[in-house]
Amino acid sequence: MQSTSGDAPAVPIRNRGWVVAFSGLGINLALGVLYTWSMFKPAMKKEFGWLDSQYNDPFAVCCLVFAFAMILAGRCQDKFGPRLTATFGGLLVGAGMALISTTNSYGVWLLGFGVLVGLGLGFGYSSATPPALKWFPPAKTGLIAGLVVAGFGLAPVYLAPASEYLLKNFGILKSMLILGGAFIVIVCVLAQLLVNPPPGYVAATAPNTAGAARPATANSAPAEILRTPLFWLLWLIYAIGSGAGLMVIASIGPMAKATMKEQVFVAVAVMAVGNASGRILAGLLSDKIGRRWTLMLVLLIQAVLMFVAIPITASTDGTKFVIVLLAALIGANYGANLSLFPSFTKDLWGLKNFGMNYGSLFTAWGVGGFVLPAVQERLKASSGNYQSAFVTAGVLLLLGAALTFLIKPPQPKSA
């Protein structure tokens, strides 16, 4: 790796790409508390006395705030750098967790978990991927994006059993305080390792595979991409893919309760392994065969899984292996979206304004995560089962897969 600037001689630069990538992965491991929401819900239902239709609301609001915070956070990351932005995110997450540890008030949980934690996730998450991508060539975009965001999906592997232990020994409120303190320390320490390459840095390139992405021909600004049909097409597909996955993630605990009994945390943890693995594998595959074909395959498989889930989640005597396998596969296909869409953003619109560009696209994740889990909770409350929610998600995923055929990269502007 070396720096190039005009006709000046190349100056060797220490490549910090892997340090930055794994620091981003570590930050996301802490921020992935969002994916353990289904572990908190049973304890909340025992102690809080909210309406049955309200227990997904803090999660849904958090998803929405997280997504829209990514626009502002992306701007901060582009302007002030990832270190400061991620540190601020860690402090916000800790503050939100501390606030909800003081009460079982529905309004305070919406504010603390929904708004403050959501804002913190936006600032922390937006800072992890951009600096890592800047240290690596385009041929590794999918791999690096998948690796960094894998931390967010993998978090429940340790947070699910940790939450189980904390809830049994300290209760829901003290558990939130303990987790919040830990997240502040982890995120703020690792944030200090997030650095951008120096100006003029050029990553060593390798020959492109036939289906791999080429570097973006321009560094587009957010105002430019928002005026293109391609942006809104990707936005719609992202909302469908993320919303369907978050619908299951938010309720995997209750869904698996009939079969898994007290071992529900195993299903949550296995779904997290699938979530993380899907991000890396989809990133690798998309580097080989292209983003569009990988995305279409992911959406089709996820649609099939939604229909398969109907009889499995309705059964009270099914085998644990089946529910665990289903959780892993749904998690993997959901996680794939989180590596494919940042890669689309870099491929199509460049790295100069990556933070705000991906932040704008990421609002689709928030809208999908707000709408479908909330719809699912209300359908479950009215019908007593998950069937209608799975059918709705499956049909939407088939629509999303069909829409991928409309994805066409913009033509380079003529000189």
More confident residue, 358 or 250: 358
Please identify, in words, the CATH class of the domain defined by 19-198+215-406: mainly alpha
Give yes or no for residue 362 having a pLDDT over 60. Answer: yes
Domain residue spans in the chain? 19-198+215-406
pLDDT bin (cut points 50, 70, 90) of residue 97 is: very high
pLDDT at res. 3: 47
* Beta carbons within 8 Å of 232's beta carbon, 6+ residues apart: none
Task: Give the model's pLDDT for residue 100.
Answer: 96
pLDDT value of residue 312: 77
Residue 415 has pLDDT above 70, yes or no: no
Task: Indicate whether 412 pLDDT > 70.
Answer: no
Alpha-carbon distance of 252 to 246, in angstroms, equals 10
What's the rounded mean pLDDT across residues 104-109? 95
**pLDDT above 70 for 413:** no
What is the mean pLDDT of the segment spanning 337-366? 90
Full strand arrangement of the beta sheet holding 201-202:
11-12, 2-3, 201-202
Q: Return mean pLDDT, the chain.
A: 84
What are the tens digits of pLDDT across the range 243-302?
888 887 766 666 666 666 666 667 777 888 888 899 899 999 999 999 999 999 999 999
Considering 30-34, 136-140, 292-296, the range whose residues carry the highest mean pLDDT is 292-296
pLDDT bucket at 7, cuts 50 / 70 / 90? very low
User: Confidence band (pLDDT; 50, 70, 90) for 186?
Assistant: very high
pLDDT > 80? residue 224: yes
3-state secondary structure the chain: CEECCCCCCCEECCCCHHHHHHHHHHHHHHHHHHHHHHHHHHHHHHHCCCCHHHCCHHHHHHHHHHHHHHHHHHHHHHHHCHHHHHHHHHHHHHHHHHHHCCCCCHHHHHHHHHHHHHHHHHHHHHHHHHHHHHCCCHHHHHHHHHHHHHHHHHCHHHHHHHHHHHHHHHHHHHHHHHHHHHHHHHHHHHHCCCCCCCCCEECCCCCCCCCCCCCCCCCCCHHHHCCCHHHHHHHHHHHHHHHHHHHHHCCHHHHHHHHHHHHHHHHHHHHHHHHHHHHHHHHHHHHHHCHHHHHHHHHHHHHHHHHHHHHHHHCCCCCHHHHHHHHHHHHHHHHHHHHHHHHHHHHHHCCCCHHHHHHHHHHHHHHHHHHHHHHHHHHHHHHCCCHHHHHHHHHHHHHHHHHHHHCCCCCCCCC
